[in-house]
Amino acid sequence: MKDNDFSNSRREFLKRTGFVSAALLSVSALSTFIPSQKGSLGGLMGALGPGEAQAAPAGIKEKLESTFGGRKVEMSHVVMKTPIIAENGAVVPINISSDLPMEPGNYVKKIYIFVDNNLDPFIASMDLTPANGKAALSLRIKMRKTSRVRTILEDSNGKLYGSTKTVKVTIGGCGG
């Protein structure tokens, strides 16, 4: 009889732990579907496109605030090409191009590149003049980890245009 009890209790224990862990798992799975209640961050951050609810690091907020003040960024006229996955964060190619006019009096004055999760979010900028003919820039940059890459174009009238993309930086399992 006793051995029966033993095995019973053991089985019971396994059952219970199994149920509890399953319940825990389902709860945690559900919680990922519950939308975050943070809402829009407002101001400049709000203007920087969807997905901003996931908190941006403090460094980038300060940097954008100090560079552009509270000016709104229009998320159009800029095309940024990045890899979806960068196996090597030390070399990530970024291509920026824009269809904005480049005529005297109305041209793109400056192109900025920011990476949210780098120690210094400011990567590079380039001053342009109408003699460039086209507002475009390609550069290879370093990224510390998976992060949002932002580019902001400032035109001669002080208007801002931008584009953001997320680049996954992975630590490769291979690659000798």
| Contact assessment for residue 98 and residue 79, using Cβ atoms and an 8 Å cutoff | yes
Q: Give the separation between CA 98 and CA 153, rounded to whole angstroms.
A: 9
Among 24, 93, 99, 166, binds other proteins (CB under 8 A): 93
Gap between the Cα atoms of 164 and 149, Å rounded: 6
Minimum distance from residue 12 beta carbon to other proteins (Å)? 17
Query: Residue 134, interface with other proteins (CB under 8 A)?
Result: yes
Rounded to a whole number of angstroms, the minimum distance from the CB of residue 47 to other proteins is 24
Among 72, 125, 159, 165, binds other proteins (CB under 8 A): 125
Site map (CB under 8 A) of other proteins, residues 17-56, x = contact: ----------------------------------------
Can you say how many angstroms the Cα of residue 51 is from the centroid of all Cα atoms in its chain? 8
Q: Which stretch binds other proteins (CB under 8 A): 24-32, 45-53, 135-143, 151-159?
A: 135-143
109 binds other proteins (CB under 8 A): no
List of residues 6+ apart from 52 with CB closer than 8 A: 40, 41, 45, 46
Residue 129 engages other proteins in binding (rule: CB under 8 A): yes
**Which range, of 20-28, 52-60, 140-148, 150-158, touches other proteins by CB under 8 A?**
140-148
Q: Is 149 in the site for other proteins (CB under 8 A)?
A: no
Binding residues vs other proteins (CB under 8 A): 2-3, 6, 83-88, 90-93, 102, 115, 118-120, 122-134, 136-143, 168, 170-176
